[in-house]
Amino acid sequence: MTLTEVKVRRFEPASAVVEEYLLPGDKLIHGNPRQCVWKHYADSSGKFFAGVWSSEVGKWHISYTEEEYCQILQGKSIIADAAGNATTVSAGDSVVVPRGFVGTWEVVEPTRKIYVIYERGE
C-alpha cells in the first residue's frame, strides 16, 4: 500500500454498504425489530469497522465478542447486563460496550447510533 492509498473516509450515504435484517428468533425477547446497518468503513483485516446502525422497537439478548463505541444520534434504548443493571441511552449519549458484556438491548424508541467496533478475535 502506498501513502496515496491511505486517506480519510467520510460517512457518506452513497458509499456505505447497506444491510437490513431481522434478528434470529432465539435472540428475541419481544418485538421483531427491523434493523439496518450502513457500514462506512472496514479495515483490510476485517477486525475494525465503523458506520451507522438503526433499530425499530424491541428487546433481544446480546453477547459481545467485540469492543464497541456508540454515539446515540436519536431514540432511546436500555442496555442491561445479565444481573439486570441497566443503562439508559438517548440522543447525545456516548458509551462503550466492552468485549465479554452479556445482557439485553431494548429499543424503547426507534434508535440510531454511530458505531465503531474492534473485533480482536481469539
Please report the domains of the chain, with CATH numbers, ordered by start residue. Answer: 16-118 (2.60.120.10)
pTM of the model: 0.91
Q: How far apart are CA 82 and CA 100, in angstroms?
A: 11
pLDDT in tens, the chain (122 residues): 455 567 888 898 888 999 999 999 999 999 999 999 999 999 999 999 999 999 999 999 999 999 999 999 999 999 999 999 999 999 999 999 999 999 999 999 999 999 999 999 76
List the one residue out of 71, 68, 38 whose CA is nearest residue 53.
Answer: 38
